[in-house]
Amino acid sequence: MASVMNEVDLLRRIPLFSQIDTTKLKLLALASERLTYAPDQVVVRQGDVGDAAFVIVSGSADVVIGDEGEEVVVASVGPNDIVGEIAILCDVPRTATIRATGELDVLKITKDRFVRMLSDFPELSIGVMRVLADRLARTTQELSSAQAELAGRG
């Protein structure tokens, strides 16, 4: 039970899960899988079917788009970040590759469990929307900056 409570404490530190009661967090901890990735190991690959979301426990990873040889790092993620949720929420292929930049520990939450959590906990749904809206705002800003830079070259 000590390891389950360790996982519950870990989940509680993640802003997305901080308001969920302990009993529900125990269920989530029991239903999730703790995985470790080596440096440069791929967690998910762009284009693959989205079957799970991942909460980063420790370490960091790059979010990469493009084909091998022509990849672009579009973001870096670290502890308490959640990745992989877009593909399971939208039923689309993975939008990016996630690659560990060092040793990476994650909690893997399956699609069924993640979707069930969203329906059971409206506050979690709001948190996920905030994460996605923040990413969209950042991406929009980066695109605007890139557009302005390209226009300045022309």
Question: pLDDT (tens digit, 9 = 90+) per residue, 63-74?
Answer: 999 877 788 898
- Which CATH topology does 2-153 take? Jelly Rolls (2.60.120)
* Domain ranges within the chain, ordered by starting residue: 2-153
Q: Give the pLDDT confidence of 17-30 residue by residue, as tens digits.
A: 777 888 888 888 88
Which 3 state secondary structure label does DSSP give 21?
Answer: coil
Residues 24, 120 contacting (CB under 8 angstroms): yes
d(CA 48, CA 75) in angstroms, rounded, equals 19
pLDDT score recorded for residue 143? 79
Residue 2, pLDDT > 60, answer: no
22-57 in b/e form (b: 16+ CB < 10 A) is eebbbbbbebbeeeebeeeeebbebeeebebbbbbb
Q: Give the pLDDT confidence of 75-98 residue by residue, as tens digits.
A: 899 998 889 888 778 888 898 999
Residues 62, 49 contacting (CB under 8 angstroms): no
